[in-house]
Amino acid sequence: MRKLITDLFGKSPFGPIVEHSKKVHECVELLWPLMEAQVQEDFDEIRRLHSRMSRLEYEADLIKHEIRGFITHRSFLPVDRSDLVNFLEHQEKIADHAEDFAVILTLRKTIINEELHDYFFEYLKQVFQVSGTLLTAAVEFNNLAEAAFSGAEARSILRLIEGLNQEEWQADKLSRRLSRMVFALEGREDILNILFYEKMIIKLGDIANQAENAGDYLRVMIEKG
């Protein structure tokens, strides 16, 4: 892993940043099989997937530390150092929250109410969309950094980020709808289950929020460039 990261650097940190973005998105992609295992009540599979998630999050953390070490010792960067660090921090929090979601599922053998299954997957699909748009924007930002922070390419990324903000807003709406459905189960569902569902909803929302925040720092770097 360390040699791979070192080979990626050269003169720019942006290639490794894309690798970090990809690794973070891998963490998010693992949420789908985790959710499938949860609704299927396959708690052994949940534990297995949690171990895999922990490994992916650790690998993302290694890449982040390598990038931070690199930019700390560079006298010149084409973007503001603090903006780049903030982008990395918010992106890393996406992986952290994905792992937190996996941890939540391991805490107790909770059976998800069947009325909520489709709505959880719809919400999760929207969270995927937000994370996927951020990854696309990060890849395009790398291409932009190799040329110049202006022109049609820059405008294209800014449109992506604007779309990311809209997608996060949609995720918020789905989150609120799902929460209303969860609390409407009060009296028919064990209160601990209701609290468990709400923890799941909040943690997925945290992932979408951090993706939006990371996208905002991409915007800042483009606009300053």
pLDDT digits (tens, 9 = 90+) for 77-113: 677 889 889 999 999 999 999 999 999 999 999 999 9
In the predicted model, what is the mean pLDDT of residues 7-35?
Answer: 84
> Nearest 5°: phi and psi at 147?
-110, -90
Predicted local distance difference test score (pLDDT) of residue 191: 96
* Residue appearing with tokens 């040329």: 147
Residue 1 CB-density burial (10 A; 0-12 exposed, 13-18 middle, 19+ buried): exposed
Predicted local distance difference test score (pLDDT) of residue 150: 63
Predicted local distance difference test score (pLDDT) of residue 151: 72
d(CA 95, CA 85) in angstroms, rounded, equals 16
Predicted local distance difference test score (pLDDT) of residue 145: 65
Predicted local distance difference test score (pLDDT) of residue 2: 41
Domains in the chain: how many in total? 1
d(CA 11, CA 88) in angstroms, rounded, equals 18
List pLDDT tens digits, range 106-134: 999 999 999 999 999 999 999 999 999 99
List pLDDT tens digits, range 141-164: 887 766 566 677 788 889 999 999
Domain hosting 126: range is 2-224
Predicted local distance difference test score (pLDDT) of residue 9: 43
| pLDDT at residue 22 tops 70 | yes
| pLDDT at residue 76 tops 80 | no
- Residue 176: CB atoms within 10 A of its CB come to 12
In the predicted model, what is the mean pLDDT of residues 183-207?
Answer: 97
- List b or e across 61-71, with b for residues whose CB sees 16 or more CB atoms inside 10 angstroms: ebbbebbbebb
d(CA 153, CA 142) in angstroms, rounded, equals 11
Short-list 216, 220, 209, 225, CA closest to 170: 209
- Cβ atoms of 2 and 62 within 8 Å: the answer is yes
Average model confidence (pLDDT) across the chain = 90
Predicted local distance difference test score (pLDDT) of residue 146: 61
Interacting residues of 183 by C-beta distance below 8 A, sequence separation 6+ = 194, 198
Q: How confident is the model at residue 222 (pLDDT cuts 50, 70, 90)?
A: confident
Predicted local distance difference test score (pLDDT) of residue 148: 61
- Cβ atoms of 122 and 181 within 8 Å: the answer is no
Short-list 178, 60, 176, CA closest to 117: 178
| pLDDT at residue 177 tops 90 | yes
- List b or e across 87-124, with b for residues whose CB sees 16 or more CB atoms inside 10 angstroms: bbebbbbbbbbbbbbbebbeeeebebbeebeeebeebb
d(CA 9, CA 196) in angstroms, rounded, equals 42
- The domain that contains 19 carries what CATH number? 1.20.58.220
Predicted local distance difference test score (pLDDT) of residue 5: 41
List pLDDT tens digits, range 23-46: 999 999 999 999 999 999 999 999
Compute CA distances 94 → 7, 76, 120, whole Å: 25, 28, 19
Q: Look at 13 and 162; give whichever has higher pLDDT.
A: 162
Predicted local distance difference test score (pLDDT) of residue 15: 83
d(CA 17, CA 6) in angstroms, rounded, equals 12
